[in-house]
Structure 1
Amino acid sequence: MSGYTEVTDSNFEEHLKKATLVVAYFSASWCGPCKAFGPVFEEVATELAGSSLLFLKIDTDNAPNAAEKHRISSIPTILFFSEGKQVRSVSGVQKKEDLIQAIKQLQG
């Protein structure tokens, strides 16, 4: 079972309000580094997703408006939202432990 939800322009903003902390992963099917990082994101999402922590996967080709609004200039990029407001971002391929640590820091 997947621990994340795939979203598009039509439902991205509403998902930001569904949990206290939202981890939004911007990627694209043609992106080589995204293919390398995708399994790491999926593993962390499966391990940590819960009622107060939501993981979203956004293909920038299917959500160009969300990518533009949040100034995504390179992928993969992860944006962290707390109570609907962006609080942190990281770009590039991340190690599993670094992603988990970033999430735990934001959870307090």
Structure 2
Amino acid sequence: MATTDLSAQTFERTVLDNDIVLVDFWAAWCGPCRQFAPVYDAASQEAGNEGIVFGKVDTEAEPALAGAANITSIPTLMAFKEGVLVFSQPGALPQSALQSVIEQVKALDMEPIKAEIAKEAAAEGSSQD
């Protein structure tokens, strides 16, 4: 699957409607971003990565989205599984490291993570009473 350009209008729906979404925050003027782009594009074409959405956010075209995602350094790679941010790291990754992140996200058991999120939400709700 090819990479998908994401915007403020499509970002949330894409993350919530897909099981695994990787997002590369980048800019055209950024050397490391240009270095990472072919690695990211190649991973999107890998046979074992079908079903994963490989999104890209141009931080110059989408400054509000980059700000909302707290992007302070580019490139930054984020991974979402079942709508939950499970990985965020700035810097260009080599192919092997990117594939390792993808495999770890695929293998991640979301039940304990979602249970912890629910527990924190319940605690936050009761502290506001």
Report if TM-score (shorter chain) is over 0.5: yes
Asked whether the 8 Å contact 1:80–1:89 carries over to 2, the reply is: yes
Deviation for aligned residue 1:50: 2.4
CA distance in 2 between counterparts of 1:13 and 1:63 reads: 14
What SS class does the counterpart of residue 98 from structure 1 fall into? helix
% same residue:
33
Aligned pairs for 1:1-108 within 5 A: 3-47=2-46, 48-51=48-51, 53-108=52-107
User: 1:12-38 CA deviation, whole Å, 9 max, x = no partner?
Assistant: 111112321110000001111101111
Closer/same/farther in 2, CA of residues 31 and 58 from structure 1, 3 Å limit: same
Structure number with the higher strand fraction is 1
Say which structure is richer in helix. 2
Whose radius of gyration is greater, 1 or 2?
Answer: 2
Following superposition, which runs of at least 4 residues in structure 1 exceed 3 angstroms of deviation? Answer: none
* Inter-partner Cα distance in structure 1 for 2:40 and 2:22: 10
- Unpaired runs of 5+ residues, structure 2, are 108-129
Q: Answer 1 or 2: higher relative contact order, Cα 8 Å, separation at least 6.
A: 1
Deviates more, 1:4-13 or 1:93-102: 4-13
**Structure 2 letter corresponding to 1:50:** E
One-letter identity of the residue aligned with 1:38 = A
**1:49: how far off?**
4.2
Instruction: Tell me, in whole angstroms, the C-alpha distance in 2 between the residues paired with 1:66 and 1:82.
Output: 19
TM-score under structure 2 length normalisation: 0.77
CA RMSD of aligned residues (A): 1.3
Q: TM-score, normalised by structure 1?
A: 0.91
Q: Distance in 2 between matches of 1:50 and 1:68?
A: 29
Specify the code of the residue in structure 2 equivalent to 1:34.
Answer: C
Once residues 86 and 107 of structure 1 are traced to their aligned partners in structure 2, the CA distance between those partners, rounded to angstroms, is: 13
Q: Which stretch shows the higher mean deviation, 42-51 or 21-30?
A: 42-51
CA distance in 2, matches of 1:8, 1:14: 10
